[in-house]
Amino acid sequence: MSAGHPSIVSLIPHRGRSLLLEAVLELRDDGIDCLGRIPAGASLLHEGRAPSILGIEMAAQAAAVFEALRRLGCGGGPQAQQIGYLVGLRDMRFERPEMPADETFVASVRSIGSAPPLSRYSARVSGPDALYVSGELSAFMTAADRPG
């Protein structure tokens, strides 16, 4: 985990096999890079591999972590962890058909616009030597989720 950032489990509601992120690698004003991994027993996992569509969820979790950290920075305190909704995908590309379990991935999202209650992000998930997923995702944030 990057120094100074709360743990992932304190920022998003995902637990157990549904939690695909392990740590914040880098937080920027417009986005975040997170360390990801597909845990043993994860949904869609078969013979140590999962369809790359699981990379969309990894990127969505990174967007949720970014928003939680942004809320904390705006004085969100205990309200930082909120449930958001993935509501749209655009130009998603799957460079590899499958993602291996227990490999380290980097899930990166960058804010590319918002019109509250919707936010849009450029997203990509890459492994040590390959890009797996890239495209845009949109998230819905309820009024209680938005800072200030």
Residue 45 lies in a domain: yes
Number of domains in the chain: 1
Domain residues for the domain of 100 are 8-145
Closest to 139 (Cα-Cα) out of 53, 66, 36, 37:
66
Tokens of 59: 């990127």
Could you give the count of Cα atoms lying within 13 Å of 136 in the half-sphere of its Cβ? 12
Which is more confidently placed, 3 or 57?
Answer: 57
Residue 1 lies in a domain: no
Residue 19: which CATH number?
Answer: 3.10.129.10
The secondary structure of residue 120, as a DSSP letter, is: E
- pLDDT at residue 5 in the model: 77
Cα angle 16-20-21, degrees, rounded to a multiple of 5: 110
pLDDT digits (tens, 9 = 90+) for 14-39: 888 889 999 999 999 999 999 999 98
Instruction: Indicate the residue type of 94.
Output: F
Closest to 84 (Cα-Cα) out of 112, 58, 60, 114:
60
Position 50 pLDDT exceeds 90: yes
- pLDDT at residue 82 in the model: 58
Residue 2 lies in a domain: no
pLDDT digits (tens, 9 = 90+) for 79-105: 555 567 889 999 999 999 999 998 999
The string of DSSP codes covering 73-101 is: HTT-GGGG----EEEEEEEEEESSSEEET
- pLDDT at residue 124 in the model: 98
Decide: residue 3, CB within 10 A, 0-12 exposed, 13-18 middle, 19+ buried: exposed
Task: Please state the pTM of the whole predicted model.
Answer: 0.87
Coil, helix or strand at residue 38: coil
- pLDDT at residue 23 in the model: 95
Residue 3 lies in a domain: no
- pLDDT at residue 147 in the model: 45
